[in-house]
Protein backbone atom coordinates (compact mmCIF):
# COMPACT_ATOMS: atom_id res chain seq x y z
CA UNK A 1 0.00 0.00 0.00
CA UNK A 2 2.91 2.31 0.81
CA UNK A 3 3.87 2.38 -2.88
CA UNK A 4 0.60 3.99 -3.90
CA UNK A 5 -1.22 7.24 -3.28
CA UNK A 6 -5.00 6.86 -3.20
CA UNK A 7 -6.70 9.72 -5.02
CA UNK A 8 -10.42 9.00 -4.91
CA UNK A 9 -12.95 6.22 -4.62
CA UNK A 10 -14.37 5.12 -7.97
CA UNK A 11 -16.91 2.54 -6.97
CA UNK A 12 -18.10 0.09 -4.42
CA UNK A 13 -19.21 -3.48 -4.87
CA UNK A 14 -20.47 -6.15 -2.53
CA UNK A 15 -17.01 -7.59 -1.96
CA UNK A 16 -14.72 -4.78 -2.93
CA UNK A 17 -14.06 -1.07 -3.31
CA UNK A 18 -12.31 0.49 -6.29
CA UNK A 19 -10.03 3.48 -6.04
CA UNK A 20 -8.12 5.64 -8.42
CA UNK A 21 -4.51 5.80 -7.31
CA UNK A 22 -1.04 6.77 -8.33
CA UNK A 23 2.17 4.82 -8.13
CA UNK A 24 4.47 6.97 -5.98
CA UNK A 25 7.70 6.22 -7.87
CA UNK A 26 6.42 6.64 -11.39
CA UNK A 27 3.31 8.84 -10.99
CA UNK A 28 1.53 6.27 -13.15
CA UNK A 29 -2.25 6.28 -12.67
CA UNK A 30 -3.77 2.99 -11.57
CA UNK A 31 -7.12 1.58 -10.57
CA UNK A 32 -7.03 -0.33 -7.30
CA UNK A 33 -9.57 -2.87 -6.20
CA UNK A 34 -9.50 -3.67 -2.52
CA UNK A 35 -11.29 -6.86 -1.55
CA UNK A 36 -12.82 -6.44 1.88
CA UNK A 37 -11.05 -8.48 4.52
CA UNK A 38 -13.15 -11.47 5.45
CA UNK A 39 -14.63 -11.25 8.88
CA UNK A 40 -14.60 -15.05 9.19
CA UNK A 41 -11.42 -17.09 9.43
CA UNK A 42 -11.16 -17.97 5.78
CA UNK A 43 -8.22 -15.76 4.95
CA UNK A 44 -7.83 -14.25 1.50
CA UNK A 45 -11.03 -13.95 -0.54
CA UNK A 46 -11.05 -16.77 -3.09
CA UNK A 47 -12.55 -14.47 -5.73
CA UNK A 48 -9.47 -12.26 -5.45
CA UNK A 49 -7.17 -15.26 -5.83
CA UNK A 50 -9.00 -16.45 -8.92
CA UNK A 51 -9.00 -13.05 -10.55
CA UNK A 52 -5.24 -12.73 -9.96
CA UNK A 53 -4.68 -16.19 -11.34
CA UNK A 54 -6.75 -15.59 -14.48
CA UNK A 55 -5.39 -12.13 -15.25
CA UNK A 56 -1.78 -13.17 -14.95
CA UNK A 57 -2.53 -16.08 -17.25
CA UNK A 58 -4.39 -13.90 -19.75
CA UNK A 59 -1.95 -11.29 -20.91
CA UNK A 60 -3.36 -9.68 -24.02
CA UNK A 61 -3.60 -6.32 -25.75
CA UNK A 62 -7.34 -6.13 -25.08
CA UNK A 63 -7.46 -7.48 -21.56
CA UNK A 64 -6.86 -5.25 -18.56
CA UNK A 65 -3.33 -5.60 -17.24
CA UNK A 66 -2.77 -6.47 -13.61
CA UNK A 67 0.09 -4.23 -12.53
CA UNK A 68 0.48 -5.51 -9.01
CA UNK A 69 -1.28 -7.37 -6.24
CA UNK A 70 -0.55 -7.49 -2.55
CA UNK A 71 -2.10 -8.19 0.83
CA UNK A 72 -2.48 -5.44 3.41
CA UNK A 73 -1.68 -6.13 7.07
CA UNK A 74 -5.40 -6.51 7.82
CA UNK A 75 -5.75 -9.40 5.31
CA UNK A 76 -7.44 -7.41 2.57
CA UNK A 77 -6.10 -8.18 -0.90
CA UNK A 78 -5.55 -5.31 -3.30
CA UNK A 79 -5.43 -5.75 -7.07
CA UNK A 80 -3.78 -2.94 -9.01
CA UNK A 81 -4.75 -2.48 -12.67
CA UNK A 82 -3.67 -0.09 -15.36
CA UNK A 83 -5.91 2.96 -15.31
CA UNK A 84 -8.61 3.22 -17.96
CA UNK A 85 -10.29 6.53 -18.61
CA UNK A 86 -13.74 5.58 -19.77
CA UNK A 87 -16.02 2.64 -20.49
CA UNK A 88 -18.24 1.71 -23.40
CA UNK A 89 -21.20 2.31 -21.10
CA UNK A 90 -20.16 5.95 -20.65
CA UNK A 91 -19.51 6.33 -24.37
CA UNK A 92 -22.93 4.94 -25.32
CA UNK A 93 -24.72 7.16 -22.85
CA UNK A 94 -22.96 10.34 -23.92
CA UNK A 95 -25.03 11.65 -26.82
CA UNK A 96 -22.28 14.13 -27.75
CA UNK A 97 -20.11 11.24 -28.90
CA UNK A 98 -20.96 10.19 -32.44
CA UNK A 99 -20.68 6.49 -33.29
CA UNK A 100 -20.21 5.81 -37.00
CA UNK A 101 -20.33 2.36 -38.65
CA UNK A 102 -16.52 2.16 -38.87
CA UNK A 103 -16.35 3.09 -35.15
CA UNK A 104 -18.78 0.29 -34.29
CA UNK A 105 -16.69 -2.11 -36.35
CA UNK A 106 -13.59 -1.24 -34.30
CA UNK A 107 -15.39 -1.52 -30.94
CA UNK A 108 -16.84 -4.95 -31.67
CA UNK A 109 -13.58 -6.10 -33.25
CA UNK A 110 -11.62 -5.31 -30.10
CA UNK A 111 -14.22 -7.11 -28.00
CA UNK A 112 -14.03 -10.20 -30.23
CA UNK A 113 -10.22 -10.19 -30.03
CA UNK A 114 -10.43 -10.12 -26.23
CA UNK A 115 -13.05 -12.87 -26.26
CA UNK A 116 -11.00 -15.02 -28.61
CA UNK A 117 -8.00 -14.71 -26.25
CA UNK A 118 -10.13 -15.78 -23.25
CA UNK A 119 -11.78 -18.70 -24.98
CA UNK A 120 -8.55 -19.93 -26.51
CA UNK A 121 -7.22 -20.21 -22.96
CA UNK A 122 -10.40 -21.98 -21.81
CA UNK A 123 -11.64 -19.02 -19.79
CA UNK A 124 -15.29 -18.10 -19.59
CA UNK A 125 -15.81 -14.42 -18.79
CA UNK A 126 -19.47 -14.63 -17.78
CA UNK A 127 -20.02 -10.93 -17.21
CA UNK A 128 -19.67 -9.20 -20.54
CA UNK A 129 -21.44 -5.87 -20.71
CA UNK A 130 -20.54 -2.31 -21.76
CA UNK A 131 -19.57 -1.43 -18.19
CA UNK A 132 -16.73 -3.95 -18.31
CA UNK A 133 -15.25 -2.62 -21.55
CA UNK A 134 -12.71 0.03 -20.60
CA UNK A 135 -10.66 2.33 -22.85
CA UNK A 136 -7.13 3.64 -22.50
CA UNK A 137 -6.41 7.15 -23.75
CA UNK A 138 -5.07 5.78 -27.03
CA UNK A 139 -8.42 4.10 -27.77
CA UNK A 140 -7.38 0.55 -26.86
CA UNK A 141 -10.28 -1.38 -25.38
CA UNK A 142 -9.43 -3.36 -22.26
CA UNK A 143 -11.80 -6.00 -21.01
CA UNK A 144 -12.26 -6.07 -17.27
CA UNK A 145 -14.56 -7.63 -14.69
CA UNK A 146 -13.04 -11.06 -14.25
CA UNK A 147 -14.64 -11.54 -10.80
CA UNK A 148 -16.99 -14.18 -12.13
CA UNK A 149 -14.72 -15.60 -14.78
CA UNK A 150 -13.51 -19.17 -14.50
CA UNK A 151 -11.49 -21.81 -16.22
CA UNK A 152 -13.75 -24.12 -18.16
CA UNK A 153 -12.04 -27.28 -19.25
CA UNK A 154 -15.10 -29.14 -20.44
CA UNK A 155 -14.97 -31.74 -17.70
CA UNK A 156 -18.38 -33.41 -17.73
CA UNK A 157 -19.05 -33.08 -14.02
CA UNK A 158 -18.19 -29.40 -13.78
CA UNK A 159 -21.33 -27.51 -12.87
CA UNK A 160 -21.48 -23.83 -13.69
CA UNK A 161 -23.55 -21.41 -11.71
CA UNK A 162 -26.56 -19.90 -13.51
CA UNK A 163 -26.12 -16.80 -11.31
CA UNK A 164 -23.47 -15.31 -13.59
CA UNK A 165 -24.12 -12.69 -16.34
CA UNK A 166 -25.94 -9.36 -16.15
CA UNK A 167 -29.64 -9.76 -17.00
CA UNK A 168 -29.78 -8.02 -20.39
CA UNK A 169 -26.71 -9.92 -21.60
CA UNK A 170 -27.70 -13.29 -20.22
CA UNK A 171 -28.03 -16.07 -22.80
CA UNK A 172 -31.26 -18.08 -23.09
CA UNK A 173 -29.66 -21.38 -22.01
CA UNK A 174 -28.45 -19.78 -18.76
CA UNK A 175 -31.85 -18.17 -18.19
CA UNK A 176 -33.27 -21.68 -18.55
CA UNK A 177 -30.88 -22.76 -15.79
CA UNK A 178 -28.45 -24.83 -17.78
CA UNK A 179 -25.41 -25.71 -15.66
CA UNK A 180 -23.44 -26.99 -18.62
CA UNK A 181 -23.19 -23.84 -20.72
CA UNK A 182 -19.95 -23.01 -22.46
CA UNK A 183 -18.05 -20.39 -24.44
CA UNK A 184 -21.07 -19.82 -26.66
CA UNK A 185 -22.75 -18.24 -23.61
CA UNK A 186 -20.23 -15.38 -23.71
CA UNK A 187 -20.89 -15.01 -27.43
CA UNK A 188 -24.57 -14.28 -26.76
CA UNK A 189 -23.44 -11.34 -24.62
CA UNK A 190 -21.10 -10.22 -27.43
CA UNK A 191 -24.09 -10.26 -29.79
CA UNK A 192 -26.13 -8.16 -27.35
CA UNK A 193 -23.30 -5.59 -27.14
CA UNK A 194 -22.99 -5.50 -30.95
CA UNK A 195 -26.74 -4.87 -31.19
CA UNK A 196 -26.47 -2.18 -28.53
CA UNK A 197 -23.69 -0.41 -30.46
CA UNK A 198 -25.96 -0.24 -33.51
CA UNK A 199 -29.14 0.73 -31.67
CA UNK A 200 -27.40 2.88 -29.09
CA UNK A 201 -29.61 1.42 -26.42
CA UNK A 202 -29.64 -2.01 -24.82
CA UNK A 203 -31.23 -4.48 -27.22
CA UNK A 204 -33.09 -6.96 -25.01
CA UNK A 205 -34.26 -5.09 -21.94
CA UNK A 206 -36.06 -7.50 -19.65
CA UNK A 207 -37.71 -5.97 -16.64
CA UNK A 208 -35.95 -7.13 -13.47
CA UNK A 209 -36.86 -10.82 -13.72
CA UNK A 210 -35.30 -13.63 -15.69
CA UNK A 211 -38.73 -14.67 -16.94
CA UNK A 212 -39.28 -11.27 -18.44
CA UNK A 213 -35.82 -11.47 -20.03
CA UNK A 214 -36.64 -14.85 -21.59
CA UNK A 215 -39.91 -13.44 -22.81
CA UNK A 216 -38.07 -10.54 -24.53
CA UNK A 217 -35.71 -13.00 -26.20
CA UNK A 218 -38.47 -15.30 -27.45
CA UNK A 219 -40.47 -12.36 -28.82
CA UNK A 220 -37.55 -11.54 -31.12
CA UNK A 221 -36.06 -14.96 -31.84
CA UNK A 222 -39.24 -17.02 -31.63
CA UNK A 223 -40.07 -19.71 -29.10
CA UNK A 224 -37.65 -22.64 -29.01
CA UNK A 225 -38.70 -25.79 -30.82
CA UNK A 226 -37.26 -28.98 -32.26
CA UNK A 227 -35.90 -27.26 -35.35
CA UNK A 228 -34.40 -24.00 -34.05
CA UNK A 229 -32.97 -25.50 -30.83
CA UNK A 230 -33.13 -29.31 -30.73
CA UNK A 231 -31.67 -29.64 -27.21
CA UNK A 232 -33.75 -27.03 -25.44
CA UNK A 233 -36.18 -29.58 -23.99
CA UNK A 234 -33.55 -31.06 -21.66
CA UNK A 235 -32.89 -27.71 -19.93
CA UNK A 236 -34.15 -27.58 -16.34
CA UNK A 237 -36.66 -24.80 -16.91
CA UNK A 238 -38.06 -26.18 -20.16
CA UNK A 239 -40.51 -28.19 -18.08
CA UNK A 240 -41.96 -25.16 -16.40
CA UNK A 241 -44.12 -22.63 -18.11
CA UNK A 242 -41.21 -20.49 -19.30
CA UNK A 243 -41.95 -20.99 -22.95
CA UNK A 244 -44.97 -18.96 -24.01
CA UNK A 245 -47.95 -20.74 -25.49
CA UNK A 246 -48.98 -20.41 -28.28
CA UNK A 247 -45.57 -20.40 -29.96
CA UNK A 248 -44.26 -17.11 -31.33
CA UNK A 249 -42.41 -16.88 -34.64
CA UNK A 250 -39.07 -15.10 -34.97
CA UNK A 251 -39.02 -11.50 -36.14
CA UNK A 252 -36.60 -10.46 -38.87
CA UNK A 253 -33.63 -8.56 -37.45
CA UNK A 254 -33.50 -6.49 -40.66
CA UNK A 255 -36.69 -4.78 -39.48
CA UNK A 256 -35.13 -3.82 -36.15
CA UNK A 257 -31.71 -2.71 -37.36
CA UNK A 258 -32.89 -0.59 -40.27
CA UNK A 259 -29.84 1.67 -40.28
CA UNK A 260 -27.26 -1.11 -40.15
CA UNK A 261 -25.38 -2.39 -43.22
CA UNK A 262 -26.26 -5.89 -44.48
CA UNK A 263 -22.95 -7.48 -43.57
CA UNK A 264 -23.33 -6.24 -39.96
CA UNK A 265 -26.79 -7.77 -39.72
CA UNK A 266 -25.52 -10.99 -41.23
CA UNK A 267 -22.82 -11.22 -38.52
CA UNK A 268 -25.31 -10.35 -35.79
CA UNK A 269 -27.68 -13.07 -37.01
CA UNK A 270 -24.90 -15.65 -36.81
CA UNK A 271 -24.02 -14.71 -33.25
CA UNK A 272 -27.45 -14.17 -31.72
CA UNK A 273 -28.82 -17.67 -32.27
CA UNK A 274 -31.02 -19.44 -29.72
CA UNK A 275 -29.24 -22.76 -30.03
CA UNK A 276 -25.81 -22.27 -28.39
CA UNK A 277 -24.20 -24.88 -30.62
CA UNK A 278 -25.05 -22.81 -33.71
CA UNK A 279 -23.53 -19.51 -32.53
CA UNK A 280 -20.31 -18.38 -34.17
CA UNK A 281 -17.21 -18.64 -32.00
CA UNK A 282 -15.12 -15.51 -31.48
CA UNK A 283 -12.50 -16.63 -33.98
CA UNK A 284 -15.14 -17.51 -36.58
CA UNK A 285 -16.79 -14.11 -36.06
CA UNK A 286 -13.47 -12.35 -36.67
CA UNK A 287 -13.23 -14.08 -40.06
CA UNK A 288 -16.71 -12.86 -41.08
CA UNK A 289 -16.72 -10.73 -44.28
CA UNK A 290 -18.03 -7.79 -42.18
CA UNK A 291 -14.45 -7.17 -41.01
CA UNK A 292 -12.84 -7.36 -44.47
CA UNK A 293 -15.57 -5.40 -46.29
CA UNK A 294 -15.50 -1.64 -46.71
CA UNK A 295 -15.43 0.56 -44.73
CA UNK A 296 -12.44 -0.56 -42.65
CA UNK A 297 -12.71 -0.12 -38.88
CA UNK A 298 -11.75 3.30 -37.55
CA UNK A 299 -8.13 3.23 -36.33
CA UNK A 300 -8.43 2.98 -32.56
CA UNK A 301 -6.48 6.19 -32.06
CA UNK A 302 -9.23 8.06 -33.93
CA UNK A 303 -12.11 6.76 -31.81
CA UNK A 304 -13.86 9.52 -29.94
CA UNK A 305 -13.95 8.57 -26.27
CA UNK A 306 -15.23 11.68 -24.56
CA UNK A 307 -17.23 14.73 -25.52
CA UNK A 308 -15.21 17.58 -27.02
CA UNK A 309 -14.44 20.38 -24.57
CA UNK A 310 -16.88 23.29 -25.01
CA UNK A 311 -15.73 25.82 -27.61
CA UNK A 312 -14.10 28.82 -25.98
CA UNK A 313 -15.87 31.89 -27.32
CA UNK B 1 -15.45 -37.44 6.77
CA UNK B 2 -12.34 -36.10 8.43
CA UNK B 3 -11.89 -38.71 11.18
CA UNK B 4 -9.74 -41.02 9.08
CA UNK B 5 -7.72 -38.02 7.97
CA UNK B 6 -7.04 -37.11 11.60
CA UNK B 7 -5.80 -40.61 12.35
CA UNK B 8 -3.60 -40.70 9.26
CA UNK B 9 -2.01 -37.39 10.17
CA UNK B 10 -1.34 -38.56 13.73
CA UNK B 11 0.18 -41.82 12.45
CA UNK B 12 2.54 -39.99 10.19
CA UNK B 13 3.72 -37.93 13.14
CA UNK B 14 4.60 -41.09 15.07
CA UNK B 15 6.52 -42.51 12.11
CA UNK B 16 8.58 -39.36 11.89
CA UNK B 17 10.55 -40.36 15.00
CA UNK B 18 12.22 -43.08 12.94
CA UNK B 19 13.66 -40.54 10.55
CA UNK B 20 15.77 -38.62 13.02
CA UNK B 21 18.99 -39.74 11.33
CA UNK B 22 18.07 -38.45 7.85
CA UNK B 23 19.75 -35.43 6.24
CA UNK B 24 17.59 -32.28 6.15
CA UNK B 25 16.94 -32.40 2.40
CA UNK B 26 15.93 -36.08 2.61
CA UNK B 27 13.79 -35.29 5.59
CA UNK B 28 11.78 -32.75 3.62
CA UNK B 29 11.33 -35.32 0.86
CA UNK B 30 10.05 -37.82 3.38
CA UNK B 31 7.57 -35.34 4.89
CA UNK B 32 6.46 -34.33 1.45
CA UNK B 33 5.57 -37.92 0.58
CA UNK B 34 3.58 -38.27 3.80
CA UNK B 35 1.68 -35.04 3.28
CA UNK B 36 1.02 -35.95 -0.35
CA UNK B 37 -0.61 -39.23 0.67
CA UNK B 38 -2.55 -37.43 3.35
CA UNK B 39 -3.69 -34.70 0.93
CA UNK B 40 -5.14 -37.25 -1.50
CA UNK B 41 -6.99 -38.85 1.39
CA UNK B 42 -8.43 -35.48 2.42
CA UNK B 43 -9.48 -34.56 -1.14
CA UNK B 44 -11.17 -37.92 -1.61
CA UNK B 45 -13.04 -37.80 1.66
CA UNK B 46 -14.20 -34.23 1.05
CA UNK B 47 -15.19 -35.03 -2.53
CA UNK B 48 -12.77 -32.51 -4.06
CA UNK B 49 -10.96 -32.97 -7.37
CA UNK B 50 -7.47 -34.48 -6.97
CA UNK B 51 -6.07 -31.89 -9.35
CA UNK B 52 -6.16 -29.53 -6.35
CA UNK B 53 -3.31 -31.58 -4.84
CA UNK B 54 -1.18 -31.14 -7.96
CA UNK B 55 -1.66 -27.37 -7.86
CA UNK B 56 -1.16 -27.14 -4.08
CA UNK B 57 2.07 -29.12 -4.14
CA UNK B 58 3.46 -26.93 -6.87
CA UNK B 59 2.83 -23.91 -4.61
CA UNK B 60 4.26 -25.84 -1.65
CA UNK B 61 7.44 -26.89 -3.47
CA UNK B 62 8.15 -23.38 -4.69
CA UNK B 63 7.52 -21.93 -1.26
CA UNK B 64 9.65 -24.50 0.57
CA UNK B 65 12.46 -23.98 -1.96
CA UNK B 66 12.48 -20.29 -1.00
CA UNK B 67 12.27 -21.07 2.73
CA UNK B 68 15.19 -23.47 2.56
CA UNK B 69 17.43 -20.61 1.45
CA UNK B 70 17.06 -19.08 4.91
CA UNK B 71 19.36 -20.25 7.69
CA UNK B 72 16.40 -21.15 9.90
CA UNK B 73 15.70 -24.86 9.57
CA UNK B 74 12.22 -26.02 8.62
CA UNK B 75 10.69 -28.27 11.23
CA UNK B 76 8.22 -31.03 10.64
CA UNK B 77 5.52 -28.86 12.19
CA UNK B 78 6.35 -26.00 9.81
CA UNK B 79 6.22 -28.32 6.85
CA UNK B 80 2.86 -29.70 7.87
CA UNK B 81 1.45 -26.20 8.26
CA UNK B 82 2.86 -25.15 4.87
CA UNK B 83 1.32 -28.13 3.12
CA UNK B 84 -2.07 -27.77 4.80
CA UNK B 85 -2.12 -24.09 3.85
CA UNK B 86 -1.15 -24.87 0.25
CA UNK B 87 -4.07 -27.24 0.11
CA UNK B 88 -6.28 -24.49 1.51
CA UNK B 89 -5.14 -22.14 -1.30
CA UNK B 90 -5.50 -24.86 -3.96
CA UNK B 91 -9.10 -25.50 -2.97
CA UNK B 92 -9.88 -21.79 -3.27
CA UNK B 93 -8.33 -21.69 -6.72
CA UNK B 94 -10.01 -24.72 -8.25
CA UNK B 95 -13.01 -25.96 -6.31
CA UNK B 96 -16.43 -24.62 -7.42
CA UNK B 97 -17.54 -24.51 -3.79
CA UNK B 98 -14.41 -23.48 -1.85
CA UNK B 99 -16.25 -23.65 1.48
CA UNK B 100 -15.99 -27.44 1.24
CA UNK B 101 -12.63 -27.25 2.97
CA UNK B 102 -12.50 -24.45 5.55
CA UNK B 103 -9.58 -23.35 7.68
CA UNK B 104 -11.48 -24.72 10.66
CA UNK B 105 -11.78 -28.17 9.09
CA UNK B 106 -8.00 -28.17 8.66
CA UNK B 107 -7.58 -27.10 12.28
CA UNK B 108 -9.79 -30.00 13.37
CA UNK B 109 -7.75 -32.46 11.34
CA UNK B 110 -4.58 -31.28 13.08
CA UNK B 111 -6.41 -31.94 16.38
CA UNK B 112 -6.04 -28.32 17.26
CA UNK B 113 -2.26 -28.36 16.85
CA UNK B 114 -2.56 -25.30 14.62
CA UNK B 115 -5.00 -22.42 14.99
CA UNK B 116 -6.91 -21.07 12.01
CA UNK B 117 -4.90 -17.83 12.45
CA UNK B 118 -1.76 -19.85 11.70
CA UNK B 119 -3.25 -21.01 8.40
CA UNK B 120 -4.53 -17.57 7.45
CA UNK B 121 -1.15 -16.02 8.29
CA UNK B 122 0.79 -18.67 6.40
CA UNK B 123 -1.51 -18.22 3.39
CA UNK B 124 -0.46 -14.60 3.15
CA UNK B 125 3.23 -15.51 3.53
CA UNK B 126 3.00 -18.09 0.76
CA UNK B 127 1.15 -15.76 -1.61
CA UNK B 128 3.66 -12.99 -0.99
CA UNK B 129 6.69 -15.26 -1.42
CA UNK B 130 5.30 -16.68 -4.66
CA UNK B 131 4.59 -13.17 -5.92
CA UNK B 132 0.96 -14.19 -6.49
CA UNK B 133 2.00 -16.50 -9.35
CA UNK B 134 -0.74 -19.09 -9.02
CA UNK B 135 -0.95 -20.80 -12.40
CA UNK B 136 1.04 -24.01 -12.26
CA UNK B 137 0.73 -26.48 -15.11
CA UNK B 138 -0.50 -29.86 -13.94
CA UNK B 139 -0.24 -33.22 -15.63
CA UNK B 140 -3.98 -33.45 -16.16
CA UNK B 141 -4.05 -29.83 -17.41
CA UNK B 142 -1.37 -30.72 -19.95
CA UNK B 143 -3.34 -33.78 -21.05
CA UNK B 144 -6.45 -31.70 -21.59
CA UNK B 145 -4.58 -29.23 -23.79
CA UNK B 146 -2.94 -32.07 -25.68
CA UNK B 147 -6.26 -33.82 -26.18
CA UNK B 148 -7.74 -30.69 -27.73
CA UNK B 149 -5.18 -30.89 -30.51
CA UNK B 150 -6.59 -34.17 -31.76
CA UNK B 151 -9.03 -33.76 -34.62
CA UNK B 152 -12.57 -34.09 -33.29
CA UNK B 153 -13.79 -36.90 -35.51
CA UNK B 154 -16.69 -37.94 -33.35
CA UNK B 155 -17.73 -36.40 -30.06
CA UNK B 156 -18.52 -39.77 -28.51
CA UNK B 157 -14.84 -40.74 -28.51
CA UNK B 158 -13.91 -37.82 -26.27
CA UNK B 159 -13.25 -38.65 -22.62
CA UNK B 160 -14.78 -35.26 -21.76
CA UNK B 161 -18.26 -35.34 -23.30
CA UNK B 162 -19.60 -31.90 -24.05
CA UNK B 163 -23.02 -30.87 -22.91
CA UNK B 164 -23.57 -28.05 -25.39
- Model pLDDT, residue B81: 95
State the average pLDDT over residues A136-151: 89
Q: Do A53 and B134 touch (CB under 8 A)?
A: yes
- Which CATH number is correct for A86-301, 3.40.50.1820, 3.40.50.920, 1.10.510.10, 1.10.580.10? 1.10.510.10
- Model pLDDT, residue A240: 67
The topology under which CATH files domain A4-82 is: Phosphorylase Kinase; domain 1 (3.30.200)
Q: Do B98 and A46 touch (CB under 8 A)?
A: yes
Q: Is A286 helix (H, G, I), strand (E, B) or coil?
A: helix
Which residues of A are less than 8 Å from B162 in CB distance?
154, 182
Residue spans of beta strands (DSSP E) within chain A: 4-12, 16-23, 29-35, 66-71, 77-82, 86-87, 123-124, 133-135, 141-143, 150-151
Judge contact between A285 and A256, C-beta under 8 A: no
Q: Do B92 and A56 touch (CB under 8 A)?
A: no
Judge contact between A18 and A48, C-beta under 8 A: no
Query: Of A60-69, A98-107, A222-231, B84-93, which gets the smallest average pLDDT?
Result: A222-231
Tell me, yes or no, if A67 comes closer than 8 A to chain B by beta carbon: no
State the average pLDDT over residues A302-313: 74
The residue of chain A with its CA nearest to that of B145 is A153
Tell me, yes or no, if B92 comes closer than 8 A to chain A by beta carbon: yes
Of residues A115 and B2, the one with the higher pLDDT is A115
Q: Which among A226, A229, A223, A220 has a CA at the least distance from the CA of A241?
A: A223
Contacts of B26 (CB under 8 A, 6+ apart): none
Give me the residues of A, 140-179, that contact B with CB < 8 A.
Answer: 153-156, 158-159, 161, 178
Handedness of CA A28, A30, A36, A38 (dihedral sign): negative
- Model pLDDT, residue B156: 47
The predicted-structure confidence for B100-152, as pLDDT tens digits, reads as follows 899 989 999 988 889 988 999 899 899 989 988 888 888 888 887 788 777 76
Global ipTM: 0.72
- What is the bridge-based pairing of β-strands A150-151 and A123-124? antiparallel
Q: Do B164 and A277 touch (CB under 8 A)?
A: yes
Give how far B69 is from chain A: nearest CA, Å.
Answer: 23
pTM of the model: 0.81
Tell me, yes or no, if A74 comes closer than 8 A to chain B by beta carbon: no
Residue B163 pLDDT greater than 50, yes or no: no
- Model pLDDT, residue B162: 44
The predicted-structure confidence for A49-94, as pLDDT tens digits, reads as follows 888 989 988 999 999 999 998 888 777 889 999 998 899 999 999 9
Q: Which residues of A268-300 are buried (b: 16+ CB within 10 A; e: fewer)?
A: bebbbbbbbeebbbbeebbebebbeeeeebbeb
Judge contact between A229 and A217, C-beta under 8 A: no
The predicted-structure confidence for A160-190, as pLDDT tens digits, reads as follows 777 778 899 999 999 988 888 899 999 999 9
Half-sphere exposure of B140 (CA within 13 A, CB side): 12
Interface-testing mutation among A33, A35, A41, A224, with chain B (most B C-beta atoms within 10 A)? A41
Q: Do A155 and B116 touch (CB under 8 A)?
A: no
- Model pLDDT, residue B19: 61
CA gap B76, A176 in Å, rounded: 52
The residue of chain A with its CA nearest to that of B141 is A153
Give me the residues of B, 122-141, that contact A with CB < 8 A.
Answer: 123-124, 127-128, 132-135, 141
- Model pLDDT, residue B70: 87
Domain definitions of chain A by residue range: 4-82, 86-301
The predicted-structure confidence for A230-284, as pLDDT tens digits, reads as follows 888 888 887 666 677 678 889 999 999 988 999 999 999 999 999 999 999 999 9
Judge contact between A109 and A286, C-beta under 8 A: yes
Which residues of A are less than 8 Å from B116 in CB distance?
41
Tell me, yes or no, if A277 comes closer than 8 A to chain B by beta carbon: yes
The residue of chain B with its CA nearest to that of A46 is B92
Q: Is A150 helix (H, G, I), strand (E, B) or coil?
A: strand
Residue A30 pLDDT greater than 50, yes or no: yes
Query: Of A60-64, A110-114, A245-249, A293-297, which gets the smallest average pLDDT?
Result: A245-249
Residue-averaged pLDDT of chain A = 88
- Model pLDDT, residue B85: 96
Residue-averaged pLDDT of chain B = 83
Amino acid sequence: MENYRIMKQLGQGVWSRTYMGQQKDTDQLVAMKKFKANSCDEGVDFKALREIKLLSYLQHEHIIRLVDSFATPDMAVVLVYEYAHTSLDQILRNRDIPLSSPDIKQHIRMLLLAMDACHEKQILHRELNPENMFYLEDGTMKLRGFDLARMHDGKPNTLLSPQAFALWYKPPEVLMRSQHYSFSADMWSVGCIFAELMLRRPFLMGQFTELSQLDKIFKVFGTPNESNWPDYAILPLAWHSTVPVPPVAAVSLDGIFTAAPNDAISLLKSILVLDPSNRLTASQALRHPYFSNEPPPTPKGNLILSSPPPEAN
Amino acid sequence: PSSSCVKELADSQVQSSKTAALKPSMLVGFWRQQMLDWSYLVMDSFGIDREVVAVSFNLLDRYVAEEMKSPIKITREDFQLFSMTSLFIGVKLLESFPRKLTANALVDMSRGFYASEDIVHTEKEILKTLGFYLNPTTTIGFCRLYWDMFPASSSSSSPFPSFG
